[in-house]
């Protein structure tokens, strides 16, 4: 659904400190369609790394290094102009909007034929006809799928995943992993996944960095 | 015992309001045997409708109430949208409680001193660039359309709505939602308006309604800033009730019912406005527009609240300046000399009202706090979360004071209670209680229940755990709630005036009474004292936990 995504995400000599103490160091390049997994126990700074790349780093932290998407320096841009999609533990569907409203929220303003795009996106994840449902009436797995499609419809240039499967039950987790990684690979998006679950890393099938 | 507290509390809130309304409704239709009204009639209404300028009064009450609420809400919403996480945000958040604590009358006086033709603003631009050598001949304060009143109200309503919003925001996962919207490409201000506001508004709707009810029927601020001849409806009603001609009471009662109708009409208009905004914003929420208008809205949002806060602060400085001003010719920005005469001359007269103010505030707040804590403790033990009862709690704030307080006096006389200090205290408690509940409720519910479970598992009884664990952990929010209660009581004008039959004088009634005299230096002294009193409560509330060595970790969580 995003044919233009052929840029890689580069984290060059990234070093994040808290109160003078080095928290983590990363130096890597994520190719289009590749999923890099950052593993570590809680407190190892995984989420801090995501916040840094996405543009939400708390000012208490001190960060060095470069983050580039293709040739573009991301650190000079505010979060909303980086083109980096986020998927959290919670699907965070907006409760004041319907399912279609949530997807429409992700679509670019002048996207052609929004109605059809939304219908197709829902069909792709087995939720055809769910347009007018209230997100609160969906199961956890259904909500996660809508959140994924909202992300993809916004046409990001790279994606960050913050333990996106940790709140799902075991059976659902397998299914969602396959769906998420499949869709991201197909879209050719460089993806950074942080998790403490080794099964996530195995399913992602890419390189792994261990922290902490 | 504890389980009867909620019923008692609701009864204490509902009975006075309904009794008061009843005893206004009957005389409005000519029935009040004490005054010789034995038969139902429409005569009071005919008398009312023949009053000159009545519809003008109604129009000003309605429009100043609605316009000030809309303006204050706009200022607060845009500020929250535009300033999250900025330095401005943090500093204004610290200002909001003190600003809220300053009584309406003091803010009104200070604002009047700012904008009057010979006020600080005119002096600032005179003689250059305005060219004024003497004060311009313009009716700025007390203008016939109530614009001064409207802006004065905004100064007080904005901090209240801001505080209510800040209390509601933690329930919304606001940070995560904003991050998500920004990662989808939305500029921060637009993101806030599209994903936070629709969820926030339902949570602050009741406070907004309370603001409308208050603003359409306010008396003290309208006496100081509002139009005269005709004045706002509420001020006219007060005049008619206090008229030596006692038969005017019937017409005054009819007018009080009319006031109820005006407030209700304002609330209904607002509700219709809500529906309109909802309908017209539905498309905008999901049209994918991510940046349009962000720059303008950001500037407006940061500027708006900064301007209202600065105006309120400048108003206080103006009060201080006038209270020590010696000789002060017009275009000069500062007085030629600073003197303490006015303070020295007022000191003797201040003592008695100060004591009365303090006693009323302490007793009313003490009573209210006791009831609120008991009700909240009961709520925790029974695992209740009252949502519907919240409406009842807001009842004294949603029904205009002027519409039921006169009736309440009549009702009290019926059962042999004469207007006096005790009735004033009870009346204050009626308005203090909802604020104490609103201020304390959220912290009380959010305290981790495991603290008490741990205590009980260590063999401590539920009642001892309440004293030994819950109260110490909640000391900071409890003291803040008490400070809020004291501030509410100190600022009350109408309940003191009416329930005390004018014989109970507090700093507030004295200050408002000075409004007609126009001695600015004396007003400066009294209004400044009135503004300073509630701050003492807040300073104690902040300092005491530190002094006792209790950290505020729990309340910050």
* In chain A, where the domains are located: 9-94+156-210
Confidence tier at B550 by pLDDT (50, 70, 90):
low
pLDDT (0 to 100) of residue B534: 92
pLDDT (0 to 100) of residue B552: 46
Confirm or reject contact between A94 and chain B (CB < 8 A). Answer: yes
The string of pLDDT tens digits covering residues B314-358 is: 999 999 999 998 888 888 888 888 888 889 888 888 999 999 999
Answer whether A79 sits within 8 Å of B177, measured CB to CB: no
Residue B46 burial (10 A CB sphere; 0-12, 13-18, 19+): exposed
Strand partners, A26: A14
Answer whether A92 sits within 8 Å of B176, measured CB to CB: yes
For residues B303-317, give the mean pLDDT.
91
Predicted ipTM of the assembly: 0.87
Rounded CA-CA distance A41/A196 in Å is 6
Partners of residue B288 in chain A, C-beta under 8 Å: 104-105, 107-111, 114
Alpha carbon B148 to its chain's center: 17
More confident residue, B39 or B153: B153
For residues B398-424, give the mean pLDDT.
89
Q: What CATH number belongs to B1-32+340-557?
A: 1.10.3720.10
Strand partners, A12: A66
The string of pLDDT tens digits covering residues B264-297 is: 999 999 999 999 999 999 999 999 899 898 999 9
Give the max Cα distance, chain B: 79
Rounded CA-CA distance B11/B375 in Å is 13
Residue B452: pLDDT over 50? yes
* In chain B, where the domains are located: 1-32+340-557
The string of pLDDT tens digits covering residues B137-183 is: 888 888 999 999 999 999 999 999 998 898 888 888 888 999 999 99
Which position has the token pair 């109200």? B153
Confidence tier at B73 by pLDDT (50, 70, 90):
very high
Rounded CA-CA distance B255/B243 in Å is 14
Partners of residue B172 in chain A, C-beta under 8 Å: none
Mean pLDDT (chain B, rounded):
89
For residues B15-28, give the mean pLDDT.
93
Confirm or reject contact between B183 and chain A (CB < 8 A). Answer: yes
Asked whether A112 and B291 are in contact (CB, 8 A), the reply is no
Cβ density class B159-182: b for 16+ within 10 Å, e for less: bbbbbbbebbbeebbbeebbbbbb
Answer whether A109 sits within 8 Å of B290, measured CB to CB: yes
- Which helix or strand (DSSP H or E) is residue B449 part of? helix B449-457
Partners of residue A90 in chain B, C-beta under 8 Å: 173, 176
Confidence tier at B554 by pLDDT (50, 70, 90):
very low
Asked whether B343 and B527 are in contact (CB, 8 A), the reply is no
To probe the interface with A, which of B84, B184, B298 has the most A CB atoms within 10 Å?
Answer: B184
The string of pLDDT tens digits covering residues B364-406 is: 999 999 999 998 998 888 887 766 677 788 899 999 999 999 8
Region class of A65: left (phi > 0), else alpha (psi between -120 and 50), else beta: left
Asked whether A163 and A89 are in contact (CB, 8 A), the reply is yes
How close B199 comes to chain A (CA, Å)? 7
Asked whether A66 and A52 are in contact (CB, 8 A), the reply is no
Rounded CA-CA distance B497/B364 in Å is 16
- Which helix or strand (DSSP H or E) is residue A123 part of? helix A114-124
Which position has the token pair 């209270």? B323
Residue B556: pLDDT over 60? no
For residues B57-64, give the mean pLDDT.
96
Partners of residue B285 in chain A, C-beta under 8 Å: 96-97, 101, 105
Asked whether B13 and B396 are in contact (CB, 8 A), the reply is yes
The Cα-based distances of B170 to A184, B72, B145, B443, B445 in angstroms read 33, 21, 39, 11, 13
Residue spans of chain A under pLDDT 70:
1-5, 212
Query: What kind of architecture, by CATH, is found in domain A9-94+156-210?
Result: 3-Layer(aba) Sandwich (3.40)
The string of pLDDT tens digits covering residues A145-161 is: 999 999 999 999 999 99
The angle formed by the CA atoms of residues A76, A21 and A11, to the nearest 5 degrees, is: 35
Confidence tier at B38 by pLDDT (50, 70, 90):
confident
pLDDT (0 to 100) of residue B446: 84
Partners of residue A80 in chain B, C-beta under 8 Å: 182-188, 191, 290-291
Confidence tier at B557 by pLDDT (50, 70, 90):
very low
């Amino acid at each position: 659904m995003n044919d233009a995504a052929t840029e890689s995400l580069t984290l060059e000599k990234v070093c994040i400190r808290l109160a003078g103490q080095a928290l983590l160091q990363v130096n890597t390049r994520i190719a289009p369609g590749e999923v890099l997994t950052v593993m570590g126990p809680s407190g190892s700074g995984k989420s801090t790394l995501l916040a840094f790349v996405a543009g939400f780093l708390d000012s208490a932290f001190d960060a060095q290094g470069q983050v580039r998407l293709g040739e573009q320096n991301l650190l000079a841009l505010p979060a909303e102009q980086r083109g980096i999609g986020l998927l959290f533990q919670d699907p965070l569907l907006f409760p004041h909007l319907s399912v279609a409203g949530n997807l429409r929220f992700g679509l670019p303003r002048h996207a052609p034929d929004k109605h059809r795009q939304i219908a197709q996106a829902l069909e792709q994840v087995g939720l055809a006809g769910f347009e007018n449902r209230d997100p609160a009436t969906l199961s956890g797995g259904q909500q996660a799928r809508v959140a994924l499609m909202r992300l993809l419809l916004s046409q990001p240039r790279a994606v960050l995943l913050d333990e996106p499967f940790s709140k799902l039950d075991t059976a659902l987790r397998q299914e969602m992993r396959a769906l998420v990684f499949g869709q991201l690979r197909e879209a050719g998006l460089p993806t950074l996944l942080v998790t403490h679950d080794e099964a996530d890393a195995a399913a992602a099938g890419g390189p792994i960095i261990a922290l902490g | 015992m504890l389980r009867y507290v909620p019923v008692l509390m609701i009864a204490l809130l509902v009975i006075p309001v309904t009794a008061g309304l009843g005893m206004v409704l009957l005389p409005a239709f000519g029935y009040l045997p004490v005054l010789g009204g034995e038969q139902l009639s429409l005569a009071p209404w005919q008398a009312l409708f023949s009053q000159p300028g009545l519809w003008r009064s109604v129009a000003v009450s309605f429009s100043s109430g609605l316009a000030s609420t809309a303006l204050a809400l706009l200022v607060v919403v845009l500020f929250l949208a535009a300033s999250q996480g900025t330095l401005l945000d943090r500093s204004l958040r610290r200002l909001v409680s003190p600003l809220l604590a300053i009584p309406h009358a003091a803010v009104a006086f200070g604002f009047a001193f700012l904008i009057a033709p010979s006020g600080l603003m005119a002096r600032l631009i005179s003689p250059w660039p305005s060219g004024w050598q003497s004060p311009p001949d313009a009716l700025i304060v007390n203008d016939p359309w109530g614009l001064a009143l409207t802006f004065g109200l905004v100064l007080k309503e904005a901090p209240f709505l801001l505080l209510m919003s800040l209390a509601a925001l933690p329930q919304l996962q606001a940070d995560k939602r904003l991050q998500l919207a920004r990662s989808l490409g939305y500029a921060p201000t637009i993101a806030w308006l599209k994903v936070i506001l629709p969820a926030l508004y339902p949570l602050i709707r009741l406070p907004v309604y309370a603001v409308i009810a208050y603003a359409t029927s306010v008396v003290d601020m309208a006496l100081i800033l509002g139009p005269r001849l005709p004045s706002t409806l509420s001020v006219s009603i007060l005049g008619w009730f206090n008229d030596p001609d006692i038969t005017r009471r019937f017409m005054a009662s009819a007018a009080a019912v009319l006031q109820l109708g005006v407030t209700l009409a304002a609330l209904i208009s607002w509700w219709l406005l809500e529906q309109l905004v909802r309908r017209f914003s539905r498309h905008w929420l999901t049209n994918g527009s991510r940046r349009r208008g962000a720059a303008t809205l950001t500037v407006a949002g940061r500027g708006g609240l900064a301007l209202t806060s600065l105006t309120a602060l400048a108003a206080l400085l103006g009060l201080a300046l006038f209270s020590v001003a010696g000789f002060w010719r017009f275009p000069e920005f500062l007085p030629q000399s600073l003197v303490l005469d006015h303070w020295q001359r007022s000191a003797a007269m201040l003592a008695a009202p100060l004591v009365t103010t303090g006693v009323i505030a302490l007793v009313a707040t003490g009573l209210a706090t006791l009831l609120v804590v008991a009700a909240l403790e009961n709520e925790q033990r029974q695992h209740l979360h009252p949502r519907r009862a919240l409406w009842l709690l807001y009842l004294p704030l949603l029904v205009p004071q002027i519409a039921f307080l006169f009736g309440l006096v009549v009702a009290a006389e019926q059962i042999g209670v004469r207007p006096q200090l005790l009735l004033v205290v009870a009346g204050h408690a009626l308005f203090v209680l909802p604020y104490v509940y609103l201020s304390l409720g959220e912290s009380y519910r959010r305290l981790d229940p495991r603290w008490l479970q741990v205590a009980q598992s260590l063999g401590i009884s539920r009642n001892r755990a309440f004293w030994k664990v819950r109260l110490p952990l909640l000391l900071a929010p409890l003291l803040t709630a008490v400070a809020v209660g004291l501030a509410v009581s100190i600022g009350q004008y109408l309940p003191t005036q009416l329930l005390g039959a004018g014989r109970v004088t507090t700093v507030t009634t004295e200050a408002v009474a000075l409004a007609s005299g126009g001695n600015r230096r004396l007003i400066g002294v009294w209004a400044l004292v009135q503004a300073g009193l509630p701050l003492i409560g807040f300073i104690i509330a902040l300092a005491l936990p530190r002094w006792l060595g209790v950290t505020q970790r729990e309340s910050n969580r």
